[in-house]
A and B are shown apart, each in its own frame.
Chain A
Amino acid sequence: MDNKEKHIENGWEPKIVAFVCNWCTYAGADLAGTSRLKYPANMKIIRVMCSGAVDPVFILKAFERGADGVLVSGCHPNDCHYNAGNFHARRRWDLFHALLDFAGIEKERLQFSWISASEGKKFADVVTKITNDIKMIGPFKGYQEMNRQFTTEFPEQEKEKLVQQCTEAEAVNG
């Protein structure tokens, strides 16, 4: 794929964020470490207590902050430490994934998986796969595009006002 070659030639490395649950996938990632499995260094993990606690806003925020891909991973169905959190995550993800697709964001950028505490190998495989997938489709420019439009199309005054509003909002939201 020419796209892919171009990205790799530029020395571009994708940024990937993973939201993983504390009980299964985080422990699975630990196991990948203790088993000394190797996978690309592109993904950084953010630990949450349960995949059910992953708010779609987190995912959007990650994309906004320059992530090229996001992984959400929790316990297998029926194995949730909290009984049902992963079912809520699955429902929410199904909808949100469809929404992203509708908005024209490549499906591969957001992936979901079940990785248990004993599946270190699966964790390594999933990280490798999502990294390769993202390398294939290249950097995520959606937010940058929006920023460019925003800077060129808005009249100067309006822009300043909006920028100020945004910074205020940022200060509140962090």
Chain B
Amino acid sequence: MKIGVFICHCGENISRTVDCPRVAETCEKIPGVEFSIDYKYMCSDPGQKLIKDAVEIHKLDAIVVGSCSPNMHERTFRSAAVAAGINPFLVEIANLREHCSWVHEDVESATQKAIELVRMAVEKVKRDKPLSKIKVPVTKRVLVIGGGIAGIQAALDVANAGYDVVLVEKEPSIGGHMSQLSETFPTLDCSQCILTPRMVEVNQHPRIKLLTYSEVEKIEGFIGNFKATIRKKARHINEDICSGCGQCVSKCPIKKKAFSSFEEGLAYRPAVYIPFPQAVPNIPVIDESVCTYYRNGKCGMCVKACDRQAIDFDQKDTMMVADVGAVIVATGYKLYSIGKQPLGSKYKGYGEYGYGKYKDVIDGLQFERIASASGPTSGEIKRPSDGKEPKKIVFIQCVGSRDPAKGISYCSKICCMYTAKQAMLFRHKVHDGEAYVFYMDIRAGGKMYEEFVRRAIEEDHVNYIRGRVSRIYEENGKYIVKGEDTIAGVPVNIDADMVVLASAMIPHDNAPGLAQKVGIPYDKYGFYNESHPKLKPVESTTAGVFLAGACNAPRDIPESVAMASAAASKAIILFSSDSLEREPVVARVNEDLCAGCFYCRKVCPFGAVEVRDIKDMNGVVYKEVAYINQGVCQGCGTCTATCLSKSIELAGFNNEEIFAEIAAL
């Protein structure tokens, strides 16, 4: 093998402390080095030409460049090598600038170190093998998990770009929490009015396959080639026949057995139900747990009511498999349960506020339903306990959020805004009503947000009190809210008719479970981790899996939508070519040496190690060995260090190469 060594002066950056001509001279004597030269700027065009010419004249097989960090110009020199007809992976960089000339002062020792660094690189390049980029085919279809506003936006963006989408939603209808909201800050436009057209668009889009009342069972595979298994839960209604007329719903005799989760427990729903009138798809679901038929095999009122015979009591859960190239996770959030928490919960709850004990102490989403025109009170503000109009409402912010003592240190971000909105809505609807807000700080960062809060205070005369509430108790039909005004430094007692708690946003209970199925990391609360908090906010650390909305951290609607569009565009970028190209730095197993202990499988952070059967001539399996999926492997090399039989090699960093570097010290 003929090696060329090229030492760069980097102007004076290297040559000031490293005697470059001497390095070049000395390195020429290293066995295998055919040609060695120093030059002022190796990365410049003449410098690169020097490399190309040298390769041609001296018939070089590999090159070593002593220059700046490989993070800086490795790519430059690799392209130069390619132009000269050398495999780009037969190029090694000795870092003479960042690791030598810039950090040492003594010319003699720096030059000596530079020589040794080049020698190490030469020994490594001698053992380097030519590698070529790996190509992985891409299935151009996206799986979107979660049909809230983030999932809807992501699905529409991908579908409108011309790719197929499978949208999976666990509830009977898409829409998520946004469909429950009354009006949205800071414009006070009706949430359903802006959301429902999007929901309908999803349902009618030819490229979107909508699977409601379905859950992701497992996801296998890797970027460009995922295989998702989806469980379609039994609706007990034949979706192909049902016209959504709602006859079964109105005829169901079970009226007061189950609370509507859409109405946040403020209303009942029948055993066969459509979660809300604008549901998409507009197809009911039979709740087995309360339906009389499933208890004693009788009733069947819905069957009689349905003139299309769409009721199917024997329907079973079905499994289906979807091949997708990318996954967008948009599973959203739930509210911190503010009552007493069950024993062993990581959260402590707020028993002192009496949520669950007093009917008129409610959380933010329940107030949204009360204020919503489509809600149980048709938009009139009424107390859940007696249906009377409350005249004095106390809103308490940061219930759960920013309270490490209760288990959550983070700010839920949206509560300041929605509390201001709710107080405003109350004042608009109950003109002689008084609204009080207990707050810790007002965090109104966002376009028109601060102005909105000021409007609540100045125009709608909402009373903002800075301080915490210690206790709420009932006295003569009133709820006594005992708090403190920390600005005035006085205790405050308010006899309220109703209390609204702005409880924290937390991930769903099964968020970690889904994360494990999809193979993405999550933080201690259960929010999914982004790959880089600044520069890769919508990528998960698993290639091909993207995040959108509140499953990543508390987010409001505009942020969720922006994130969803970003995640969609990341998926579309992925689909812009038919196959993916990636660096060939991946691990490979020598199947002859592999003993099949599968320790590599235990340490691989990406699940890239598979079991491969080795068969004899008769097709009988006589040995199981590890096989590393080239598409999944990210090239960390942890398996190579773990492998007992040393049968795994990381391309570009194999043991032989590293031993050679060590030997050249």
Contacts and interface: CB of A to CB of B under 8 A. Distances in A.
Interface string B70-96: 110000000000000000000000010
A110 to B, nearest CB: 14
Contact of B127 (A27, A50, A174): A174
Given A33-B98, A38-B105, A82 B662 contact: no
A52 B638 contact: yes
A134 interface: no
Nearest to A58: B658
A99 interface: no
B661 A46 contact: yes
B493 interface: no
Nearest to A63: B662
B98 A62 contact: no
B603 A88 contact: yes
Given A41-B113, A48-B653, A50-B638, A67 B665 contact: yes
A53 interface: yes
A100 interface: no
A54 B653 CA distance: 11
B interface, how many residues as a size bin? Answer: 35 or more
Contacts of A41: 100, 103-104, 106, 109-110, 112-113
Interface string B277-315: 000000000000000000000000000000000000000
Contacts of B98: 29-34
Interface residues of A, number: 47
Contact of A50 (B97, B636, B663): B636
B69 interface: yes
Interface in A79-109: 80-85, 88, 92
Contacts of B120: 44, 46
B634 A82 contact: yes
Contacts, number: 130
A129 interface: no
Contacts of B640: 53, 55
B116 interface: yes
B662 A49 contact: no
A123 B261 CA distance: 55
Contacts of A39: 103-104
A92 B639 CA distance: 12
Contacts of A13: 109
Contacts of A49: 585, 635-637, 650, 653
B642 interface: yes
Interface string B553-574: 0000000000000000000000
B103 A36 contact: yes
Contact of B641 (A31, A45, A46, A53): A53
A174 B70 CA distance: 25
Q: Which of B71, B110, B662 has the most CB of A within 10 A?
A: B662
B102 interface: yes
B665 A174 contact: no
Contacts of A124: 103
B521 interface: yes
A17 interface: yes
Contact of A27 (B71, B635, B637): B71
B590 interface: no
Interface string B618-648: 0000000000000000111110111000000
Given A38-B104, A41-B109, A53-B637, A48 B658 contact: yes
B99 A85 contact: no
Contact of B653 (A31, A53, A82, A92): A53
A65 interface: yes
B117 interface: yes
B636 A52 contact: yes
Nearest to A59: B662
Contact of B638 (A32, A44, A82): A82
Contact of B662 (A17, A30, A50): A17
B585 A83 contact: no
Interface in A142-174: 173-174
B656 to A, nearest CB: 5
A8 interface: no
Given A49-B635, A58-B662, A33 B102 contact: yes
B659 interface: yes
B260 interface: no
A55 B541 CA distance: 25
A168 to B, nearest CB: 15
Contacts of A53: 636-638, 640-641, 650, 653
A174 B663 contact: yes
B377 interface: no
A82 B531 CA distance: 10
A21 to B, nearest CB: 9
Contacts of B102: 33-34, 36
B636 A17 contact: no
Q: Which of A31, A39, A55, A124 has the most CB of B within 10 A?
A: A55
Interface of B: 69-71, 95, 97-100, 102-106, 109-110, 112-113, 116-117, 120, 127, 521, 541, 585, 603, 605-606, 634-638, 640-642, 650, 653, 655-656, 658-663, 665
24 contacts: A33-B99, A33-B103, A36-B103, A38-B104, A41-B100, A41-B103, A41-B104, A44-B116, A44-B117, A46-B662, A48-B658, A49-B637, A49-B650, A50-B638, A53-B637, A55-B640, A66-B665, A80-B605, A82-B638, A83-B541, A85-B605, A88-B642, A173-B659, A174-B656
Top 8 nearest A-B pairs by Cβ distance? A53-B637, A33-B98, A52-B638, A82-B636, A50-B636, A33-B102, A83-B605, A55-B641
Given A44-B116, A81-B636, 18 more contacts: A15-B665, A29-B99, A30-B69, A31-B98, A32-B98, A33-B99, A38-B103, A39-B103, A39-B104, A40-B104, A46-B658, A50-B637, A55-B640, A56-B641, A80-B605, A83-B605, A173-B656, A174-B663
